[in-house]
Amino acid sequence: MNNDDSDREGDLGLAAKTRPKTQKPPLYKVMLLNDDYTPMEFVVHVLQRFFGVTHAQSVEIMLTVHKKGVAVVGVFSREIAETKVTQVMDYAQRNQHPLQCTMEKE
């Protein structure tokens, strides 16, 4: 979306540039990391369970992580991203898999 003042020219004229910039909350990428031990089926299940993707999308993401080492699973507000990371890490730990999930500011 256009967030500069150019869209207000009709209202205020070219000289009036007084509107403060609107602050958008930062977004965070949630990423899954590859490891040698977590079963592929478990990762596919995790992606469907916590990220609401289809089985086909889940297989695709899992294979990207498996081949490239990391993939972005989704982009969320800080609070939602933190919840996803915690949910995945807790679930992996409870099932005794070393799966790692992290977040990073976009």
Residue ranges binding ligand TYC (CB under 6 A): 32-36, 38-40, 43, 62, 65-66, 99
Instruction: State the minimum distance, in angstroms, from the CB of residue 78 to ligand TYC.
Output: 22
Cα–Cα–Cα angle for 51, 71, 57, nearest 5°?
50
Q: Judged by CB, which is closer to ligand TYC: 2, or 96? A: 96
Instruction: State the minimum distance, in angstroms, from the CB of residue 98 to ligand TYC.
Output: 8
Instruction: State the minimum distance, in angstroms, from the CB of residue 99 to ligand TYC.
Output: 5
* β-pair partners for 29: 75, 104
DSSP for 45-78?
HHHHHHH---HHHHHHHHHHHHHHSEEEEEEEEH
Instruction: State the minimum distance, in angstroms, from the CB of residue 22 to ligand TYC.
Output: 36
DSSP tag of 20: P
Q: Judged by CB, which is closer to ligand TYC: 28, or 99? A: 99
Answer whether 74's CB lies under 8 Å from 58's CB. Answer: no
